[in-house]
Structures are given as structure tokens and as C-alpha cells.
Structure 1
């Protein structure tokens, strides 16, 4: 059977599952499920009567147990606590054991779990497996949702059930918006408290109507960052419409001390003005260049429910006019995304059914921001104004999942998914039209084609069985098949002389190669959980997971300096070349968990060790002479331990191991000063390349976080200490930079009264200077397109962390 026939059949089959549910609705007997109250009307004074209409209601969370096996749940309450200090959604995970992140742009951090990051994680936003539509991964999946748009996060840091997703070898992060709410007739719900907001609920012609919303704003002193969000809902008992929008911006932030000499952002200035018609910026010694950004996100949700069925339609829009990156040679000058999704949930006699169709279009642009040199050349002869890079991507998919209870002890999950991804990246000539008397700097006369008609399609199918053998024993086993098809069209450079000349002829050799690839990947999970009593839980699991290379790992074709230095999402300033011969990564993971807590959950401790062996891990090697040419520069590149280097992606086995330890204890309750609780997290991970014996890149050093929380009525105070060890185990192939250990102290406070919340905090109270272990190399200034040449960013400076920062935030629900 041909690939096209198979994909058409798979798509039709998955859609048919969803459509079949509608037909079964007419013949299957149905038992309506009770509604679950998710909000309640505000308690009124004793002299006032209860409101005539009830608070908003949510349809039951279909096919989702209260706590999925192996998942850490971050609910709306925890999100509300984390949101005032979170610049982007990744930072909502700051207190999740085993989670760290690569620093990048202001709203584009790349999450990491147990040493595996970015594409190696399964990240879903509203059910959509989005992909970075950028050679530098400036628009990763979590950048498309702001913290104010998040309703719940599920984090799988160890064994990941096959029903959660495939095409990844690490953990999973599932981000969902708040569930739709509906009006409901009847009296106010019991259990309401004085601090709960009161939505506007009333009856119209005997039918309930609900109006509710939320508005918030924040300010951060370091970087002069500010923004806000607004959400509003109008609903009846069957129909609900919600708008949720956010806006944020910031200037460059400052480190606690000078880490470089003060001066102009770039010294070689052929023209006195930058691209933005502003004079060359002056950066103080502590100012971290290229850390400014501006972003806005909007989403409209329409939901309809009838008995045991819910249909939800979402349309989202993102606009980022600029986002600058201190550890990338390019900056984002545009990111515009439009995405739509249709989700169905239904309950039948035989079980639960979920279906989803989604489509996303991304228009992305890169060039040099104000802190990086824009004009190259000299006024009297050579001219190269910037280096525009344009991207267009489309992500379309359909998936379905059924949950079928069997014999009162089993839950069988069956599902299928098809994803179609199309990607094009081209770099217009610079200059687009050569002025009279000028000579081109080499980026003309044609456009540089980086990826032409890139295709990465997937078809997955899985079966999973969750069994509750007794009150003490729970098992989970599953198998998933992932088929990945990849291809890309012919390419060319700006010109033949510089980008397709002898002896390598890189464009020609790429074009005559067979570029089509088909990967058959397998995923499997086996996990057992033993709960001998209400205070103890033990879990042991194994997973087999696979990931195919992304488009740039396979199809980055040019070894020339300028194109190679524009490729790479690692924040190290190095130059990357792809490899058509890459194989999929295959990871074998064993993870165990011991969880103890008392019956009142006032004290608890959780310990999770893990071990992962990855076959065909996609790492890098110094670019071989057969790929990058045989010159003094390329020969020196093979052995140098200083400076930025040329690298090629290559398969090499790797292993990772580590452990997470977390705990909490209520120290005192009902004292004159309130309740006091202590919490702590300790994480350690070690990664090694088996082939070279060296270390893996961007491995978070041992770190711990200790906090003491006071609650007194609506007032909460928290003091926390974060201790991070030195990063001494560095990857030598990339000339990774070492960082020193450091300790930070933070203070956070919030006060809630009825429908109003006010937050204030101070991060890095003592203004300690430190370098971020996963911050990468500082290349946020200068002639970033000049490689290791004159005026280029100096090698050897890590990206420093933020100095003291005071933030305030307020949130009002209505």
C-alpha cells in the first residue's frame, strides 16, 4: 500500500470514529452524568437571600481520572499562586520536581525534564502537538499560551503512558485551558466561602444565564516589564462563549553586576543609524542585551453541551512584533499564528469517546534587533542590510480516543492520531535591490532556500490497559506505533559561488540525494503501583520511547559560515549542519517512586530515581572535513577548545540517570500568626555520551529549593531559598561554558479578599550575581553574523541571571 493511500485511509478512519459517535447517539441509551460545580456564588450577608441562579457548571472531565497514573497535576489554585512571578508558561513549572528550562526569549523558554528538552518532550497545548516553526526554535509550543490562559497542567516526568502521546523520548507536559462553564438552574451551591467571587447569574424567561470574567495586570521592575489579561464568559445551560486575551512587554533586564564593559551594542557601524532609525544603543555593563520582547495572545472558545456530549470550538491568535534573544545570533521580528480546534467529548453505554481536529498556520520572521548589528559592509562599496529569514508553517491533525471499562476492574484505551506538518523557510536577498555603486556582501542576488516544502507527517495508533486489581494494586500497560514520513524539496543558496562551489557542491549534492525517509517507531509502557495503606504508595515502571529527527536535524544542508550560524536552538552560538543519515532516537527508561504522607497530608516525602539509556541519541560532532571542507579553519575546528565551532548532528548512544526528592511539612497550625508550612525540592541528573565518554549538553547541576509559607486568613507570605551547584560537567564538542554555583532568596506575598487578589514579591532579594546554568552563551550584541570575526560577540561569556526584581500584580474576578 502506498504512503498516500495509507495516510488518506488513516485520516478517514480517525474522522469516522468521531462521526460514528453522533450516529450512535440516536440508538444508545444514555444516563446523564451529574454536573460538577467549579465555582460558587459569593456568600452574602445574613439579611440577604441567596441568588436565584446557581454558579457556573462544567461538564464532567471525560476520560480523565482525578489524577492520571504518574502525573503531577498543577491545578488552577497552584497556577494562580505561580502566575504573578511567571513571565511565560514554562515558569509555571518552577516548583515541579525534575523540571528545568533552557533560557531563550522572554516568552519562549524551552522546558527540560530529567535532562531531556525541547523536541524530546511531548508538549501538548489544548490537545495540539505544536512544533517550533523556526531554525532557532524561537516559537516553541508553550510560547503560544500565556500563563493567564492556562487552566491545568499535567507533567509526566517518569514513565509516560502511551495514550498521552508519542514521537518523544522524555517526559510530557499537557497544558489545557480552563474548562467551559455553563449556567445552571437552582439554588446556590453549598460550601461557598466569603472569599469566592460572585458571577452574575440570573434567569431569562425561566432559563439560566451566566456572565463572569476576570481582569488582571502586573508590573516587574527589572526590565520595566508590564502587561495584563482579560477574560469574559457568557453562558446558558447549554451554550458557552469565552474570550481570553493577554498582553506583555519588557525592555532589556539587568544583571546584579557588570559582566562586560559598557559600550555601544556594536562597534563596527557603517551607518550611524540602526535598522529602526535609532542611534546605536548603549549597553551598560550590567544590561543583558537582546532580552526585550512584546507579545499578545487571544483566544475565543465556543462550547455546546447536550446531556452527555460536549462540542468545543476554539480559535486563537498570537502576535509577537518582536522578541529578542541574548543567546541567539538572530532575533524574532514577527510571529503571527492562527490556530483552530474542534474537540468532542461524549459518554456512551460502552464508555467515553474523545475526538479532535486542529489546524495552525504560523508566519515567522527573524532578523537583527536593535542590539545587534544590522548593516554590514562599508558605505562606499559593500552593502548588506540585515539578514531577513522568513518562515511559513502549517500544522494539521485529527485524533480520537476511546475509554472502555471492562469487567469493573479494567479500563481499555484505544486511539489513533494523524498529523500533517508542512514547513518552508527562505531568506530573501540582502539587499533585495542593489543600489547603484554598491557591491553585494554575498547574500544576493537570489533567495537562500533553507527548507523547501519540508514535510513531516505522522500516523500513530495505540492500545492501553489500566487495571485496578485490588484497592492496593494498579497496573498500566500499553503499546503505541508511530510512523513518521519526512521529505524536503531541492534547495539553493544566495548564489552559486559562495554556496554551491567546488569541491563540496553542497546544494547540488543535497538535491541529488534521496531525501525521503520513513521511520517506524515503537513505544511501550509497563507500570505497577502498590498502595499498602492510605499513607504509602510505591510505583515501578518501564517505558520504551522513540523520536524521529526534526526537519533541521535532517535537512540543514549548507556548511557555509553564515547559514550554519543561523541554525541551532541550543543557545550556544555555534554553527550547525544537518545529516540526512540520522536515525530515530530510542530511549529505554526505568523509573520508581516512593511516596509517603500522613492521612491528613500534613507531612509527606516523595523520592523518584530514574535511569534512561538512549540508542541513536542525536548529539553533535565537530564538522568532518568531508562535510565542511578541508581548510586550515576547518582543520583547526576539529581540535580547538576555544571559540564557536562548526558541528554536525550525529547519532551516538547516551545514558542519563538521576533522582528527585520533594517533601512538605506543616510546622504549626492555628497559631496567633496563622499556619506555617515548609516545602523542599532536590533534583540531580547526570548525562553522558557513551560513544565519546563526554558529558551531555545543558544538564542542570544539582539544585534545591526550600521554602517557608505563612497563611493568615487571606494573607500568604512565602520566603524561599534556591541553591544551584556549579556546572562543571560540560560538553566538550560544543565548547560548553562552565558556570559557578549560587544561592538566591525570594519573598512572595499575596492577599485575597472576595474577588480581588493582590500579589507583591522580591526576587533575588540580595541582588546576587550569577550565570544561568542553562542560559547558554551570551551573543546578544555585536556583529552576530560575523562568526568568530571582528566585531562578533566574544566567546566565553554565559548569559547572566536577572538581578533584584520587584513585581506587583492584581487580579479581579467578576
Structure 2
């Protein structure tokens, strides 16, 4: 979807191109005049009523989500998921440090902490971020506020709470700020706790429970030319269920620090940022809803630096020059189980001293050529190096699993293992003897044009070449046994995956066009967007062999190996906003409607790509009357028949959801009540993957699709002081 985005005025600001600052900067350079931009969705205000996952905010901007844990769903843009979507949190690039991507970047920030967020789908400028082909999601919590006094004193604070009946969910958010005219100190925290939710039939969706907390402390200093910001973060997730994975999260403890510096000169602006993020992550079992003994651990660290210099060429044109460095390190090992002949006596070393290093430089030109024409063009060059050390299996002489020890894993009982190709000992020897150091050089380029046909008609055009290098798990997951391979993969499909050291870089060529028409009296606005993406060396997976844990017709799964293929994705979106009624007695009534359709397929087989959402429509009516805001929405999702057969992707039936909400705001108090899925409809999530937790409880139903949430009564309160 395409919206106009305006960036709020902040400190240290001079007239520069707002497109770059809106998309990239945690706090933007701006002036009083905002510039309409291409393919950016944005909001600049948050009243802290939103709590928990940021999914509730981003879904309104056209972001779909692949189901994972309660705070760890993976974003999808234009049919592309995982690392293909670049996610920046306060401008920092944080890598998912897990073979199942249980700790993606968005899981490290809660909705109440977010002050602005933007989505650039498909054609994004090179300054928005590299190493992606789907687009960029940027969420920001750094927004220093100062007072008029030279004394440091209380500035503002809030406390928010939410309860949801469908999962007995309890969420709490708090914030407090001290400020003077030159210094700002801000704390924000959140806590979430939920049981496994119920579906529309009243049955528990097993293993969807979670608990999480996030904390941040931000200090900012300024004078009339410059600003320095330092932010410290901490997250603790003691447990989080993953219904569509063979294991759960039993701990995720992270610490982070960000330092940002900005300085303005007469005709230029300098911005620098340093980021450090460290996480210790553990997988295992914690609930009777899915049991077992196996453990997996990762230790990972992200370090990055960014330096940007924007030079004003004249009043309407500027050039941005930048250099970026990213260094990601990870160790991934699976502790041996004492007394086990299958998972012992050694630790299974999956990724040993893994490194993914990026060095990037880019130049971007931006100009308001005349009153009708705006242009953005840029080129980015990156060198990406990946490497890992030698690995080891659980033991050095076992070519076949001991079936008596399958209960140690707790998820794949009675696997049949008779092929010597499943010998992890041989696989480790071959892997250690091979080339484990790869360097890729990639070039991104973009062209964005906005033409104002009339005061009420806009034409937006975008063309981009974008690249993404393989992540460490796609390239270096070396295990070949059924157990080892099913520990790899963020798809929630129950299959197993083998890495491929010879994977090449994904290269996407995307064309996007948008036409926007609005009424002369601003009574309505219509936006239509079409896009087409041709991906060379798309990283998909081909079947190596099959296995069947339960020897039933509906419990077969595949072992796949990552491979490069060519693929095509395309789609269309229509958005309409219209004022439909206004009176003093009944307030302002507005209509919101959109339709989205996405397709994707492999070129070699014409097989649909995995997890492409079917046709969907949304229709909503909102009313604003004084301090009250009411909304009624209807969402319809078509039957999903285009599925990836290599992954045994399930078809899903069409469904409709109706949601009703009401909010009232007084000076400092906001109350909200809503009913989601009003008619308690049972539906299966088209992007939900399969419920492995349900399979383990009752294998007779096979790999059923994960069901969505049933009716929920939700109440929220936020008090500012």
C-alpha cells in the first residue's frame, strides 16, 4: 500500500529531504514543510495504549506475519519473509540468533515503546537499508523531549494495562521522563504474560503461551548545533511456546546499547551511530503442552557502525554519502544429554564461531526538481563475508540413530533411519573438509519518482535492484539426520532443512507503480498500486528424501536442502478512505477499505512459493464524536489453494472476521474496549504453519494447520501524568 508520510518536527533540524529521514532516522531531520514520499507508510504518534507485540501496529500498514511465538511472529512484505525483510529497531540491525528465528528483531521492542514506525515495501531507497529484497520496516523508540527550564525536573510519564480474555493475557507498560532544556532521560518498560489461546471452537491452541519483559533507558543531550543520544536495553523472555516448531524457547536474555550523534552545519548534516547487542538464547521444553528433554543454545552478538553525511546542493537538492559496517557473531550448540547414545556424549556443534560481516557504502541523490516532480536515486555497494569454524556431531561413530533414545528429543518418535546419507559423523567430516569462507560483493540501485499530475492526482514510480546474501543457517547448517535437520528452519512446516555452502546471492529486480486520486474537498482518497518482482537465485529448497515419524498417511514430511532457483512475485493493492457522514449530533464517520492480492512462483516448476497469503479484503467504518472513537471492521480472506507441495503446505478455507472497538479519551486517561472475532469464527491461519504441539498430543489428525484466535474481549487503560 502507498501512503503519504509526514515526519514530525524535531530538534536540530534544517530543510532536507524528508523521505530519507522519515524512513531511516530514529529522529528525523525536518522543517515545518513536509514532503510527500513514495512507498512509505508511517505514523508518528503513539499514546501508549498499544501493548505487547508491534504486530498490532504494523498490520495496519500492510505487513503480514508468519505465525511463530506470541511476541516473535515474522513479518512478510509482498510475499517475502524472514531475512528478506530488513527490520531496523532505532536504526540498528539486529540478527535473529536462532535456527528457528525465535528471536527476530521485532521481538526486542514492545508496542508501547514505539514512537514512530515506517514500512517501505518493495522499492526502497538504498539509504533505507541493504541486504534485503522485500523492503524495510523501521520502528523507533528514541524521541528525546526537552523542557523550557535549565533545571532537570519531572517531565512526563504514563502507565498502561491491557487484558484479553482469549488467552488470559495481561500486559503492562510504563514510562517516565526527566528533562531540562538540554538534557532528557527516559525510561520505558513492558511486561506481557499470556496462556495458550482458544480458537473459534473453544479448543486450546496448544503451546501458544508466553511471558516477556523489555526495558530501555535513553539519555539525550543537546545544544544549538548537535545532539547525542545513548540508549540501553534489556530483554528477558523466560519462556515462549512455538506451536509450529519441534522445540520451544526456554530463555532469551539480551542486553544492548545504541549511541547516536547528530550535528548540523551551514549546508550539511552529519549523523553517526554505534550499536551493540548481545543475546543468550536457549531452546527446550517447559510445558506439559509439548514435552521433551533436548536443549539447544546460542550466544550471539551484533556490532554495527553507521556514518552519514548529507550535503545540501541547493534549496531543493541534496546528496547523501554514507559508510556502514556490520559484524554478527554466533555460536550454536546442542548440549549432550547424559546417558543418551543418540544425543551424547559430545555437544552437537551446529555453528562454531560463525561470522557474518558486511561493509557497505552508498551515495543517494534527492531533488525536488520542480513543484510537480520529485526524484530519488542511489547506489549501494556491499561486501558480505560469511565463515564458520569446524563442527562436531553428538558422537563420532554412529551412522544410525538408536531408536530407544528417540524419547530424548521428545518430538519425533519412531523415526526410521536406514540410509547412510543420514550419518552426521560423515556429514561433519565432509563439512569440515570443505570451504567455509565465502565473500559476496553486491550492488543495489534504486530510482524513485513522484509526479504531481494535478493538485488531486499523483503518479508514483519505483524501480530497484536489491540483493540479499544467505544467512548462516541457510549456508552452514550441515546436519543430515532427520533429528538434526528438523531443528533448522523458520517456516513452521514440520519439515527438515540442510544448508548449502554454495548458495548464491538473491538478486531482485522490482518495478512498482502507484496512482493516487483524491477529492477536491479531501472527502475521499483512492490509491492503487501494482508491483512486479523478478528474483534471480531465490533461496528455496528441494526435496532430498522423505520421512514419517508416525507411519500414518497424514504424517509424512520432507527433508529439503536450500538451493537457488529463479522466482517471480507480483501483486496489486487498492486502498480507499472516504468521509461518509458528518453532523454535530453523530460526529464524523469515515469508511476505510482495501483489497490486496499477491502471487509468487518458481520459474523452473511453476510451483507456488511458500506462505503467500491469498486474496484478502478489509472494510471498516469509524466514528469520532467528541472524546469517543468507535470502529467496526470486517476482514475476509479467500481460500488458500496455491500451496508449496514440496513443504506439504496445507490448503485453508476462506473466513471472515468482524471486530468491534470503542475508545474514550479524557485529558490524561484513555479507556478502550474491543471485541475481536465477534462471531467466534473458527479459522486456520493461511500463514500459520502446522501445529506440531497438537500432533504430539494426538497424531491421528496429522499436521493440521494452526488455528487462529477465537472471540476475545479486550480492555485497555492508559494514564498519562
TM-score, normalising length from structure 1? 0.80
Q: 1:595: Cα distance to partner?
A: 1.1
Q: How does 1:428-577 map to 2 (within 5 A)?
A: 428-431=335-338, 434=339, 440-498=340-398, 505-577=426-498
Q: 1:536: Cα distance to partner?
A: 1.4
Q: 1:635: Cα distance to partner?
A: 12
> CA 1:60/1:95 → structure 2, altered by over 3 Å: closer, same or farther?
closer
Of residues 90, 98, 104 in structure 1, which corresponds to 2:55?
Answer: 90
- The separation in 1 between residues aligned to 2:168 and 2:548, in whole angstroms, is 46
Q: Secondary structure at the match of 1:92?
A: helix
Q: How does 1:338-487 map to 2 (within 5 A)?
A: 338-375=255-292, 386-431=293-338, 434=339, 440-487=340-387
Q: Does 1:611 align with 2:518?
A: no
- The separation in 2 between residues aligned to 1:61 and 1:393, in whole angstroms, is 30
> CA 1:208/1:793 → structure 2, altered by over 3 Å: closer, same or farther?
same
> CA 1:801/1:72 → structure 2, altered by over 3 Å: closer, same or farther?
same
- The separation in 2 between residues aligned to 1:595 and 1:108, in whole angstroms, is 34
- The separation in 1 between residues aligned to 2:192 and 2:596, in whole angstroms, is 31
Q: Secondary structure at the match of 2:643?
A: coil
How many residues align structurally?
678
> CA 1:531/1:34 → structure 2, altered by over 3 Å: closer, same or farther?
closer
Q: How does 1:158-307 map to 2 (within 5 A)?
A: 158-184=122-148, 207=151, 209-257=153-201, 286-307=203-224
Q: 1:373: Cα distance to partner?
A: 4.9
Q: 1:308: Cα distance to partner?
A: 1.9
Gaps of 5+ in 2: 1-10, 16-24, 401-418
The answer (yes or no) to whether the contact 1:90–1:110 under 8 Å persists in 2 is no
Of residues 636, 649, 664 in structure 1, which corresponds to 2:577?
Answer: 664
Q: 1:497: Cα distance to partner?
A: 2.8
The answer (yes or no) to whether the contact 1:591–1:610 under 8 Å persists in 2 is yes
Q: 1:732: Cα distance to partner?
A: 1.0
> CA 1:514/1:758 → structure 2, altered by over 3 Å: closer, same or farther?
same
Aligned to 1:69: 37
Q: 1:663: Cα distance to partner?
A: 1.1
For each residue in 1:206-234, what CA deviation from the matched residue of structure 2 results, as whole angstroms up to 9, or x when unmatched? 75745211111010001100011110000
Q: How does 1:100-119 map to 2 (within 5 A)?
A: 100-119=64-83
Structure number, greater radius of gyration: 1
The answer (yes or no) to whether the contact 1:255–1:800 under 8 Å persists in 2 is yes
Gaps of 5+ in 1: 1-30, 36-57, 185-202, 259-285, 376-385, 435-439, 625-632, 785-790
Q: Does 1:313 align with 2:230?
A: yes
> CA 1:677/1:428 → structure 2, altered by over 3 Å: closer, same or farther?
same
- The separation in 2 between residues aligned to 1:714 and 1:75, in whole angstroms, is 21
- The separation in 2 between residues aligned to 1:502 and 1:741, in whole angstroms, is 44
Q: 1:560: Cα distance to partner?
A: 0.5
Q: 1:469: Cα distance to partner?
A: 1.0
Q: Secondary structure at the match of 1:733?
A: helix
Q: Secondary structure at the match of 1:451?
A: strand
For each residue in 1:277-308, what CA deviation from the matched residue of structure 2 results, as whole angstroms up to 9, or x when unmatched? xxxxxxxxx11110000000000000000112
> CA 1:601/1:426 → structure 2, altered by over 3 Å: closer, same or farther?
same
Aligned to 1:139: 103
> CA 1:180/1:499 → structure 2, altered by over 3 Å: closer, same or farther?
farther
The answer (yes or no) to whether the contact 1:644–1:795 under 8 Å persists in 2 is no
For each residue in 1:570-617, what CA deviation from the matched residue of structure 2 results, as whole angstroms up to 9, or x when unmatched? 011111110111001000000011111235533101111000000000
Q: 1:643: Cα distance to partner?
A: 2.1
- The separation in 2 between residues aligned to 1:635 and 1:141, in whole angstroms, is 34
Aligned to 1:652: 565
The answer (yes or no) to whether the contact 2:399–2:420 under 8 Å persists in 1 is no
For each residue in 1:130-184, what CA deviation from the matched residue of structure 2 results, as whole angstroms up to 9, or x when unmatched? 1100000000000000000000011101310001110000111011115100012
- The separation in 2 between residues aligned to 1:465 and 1:576, in whole angstroms, is 42
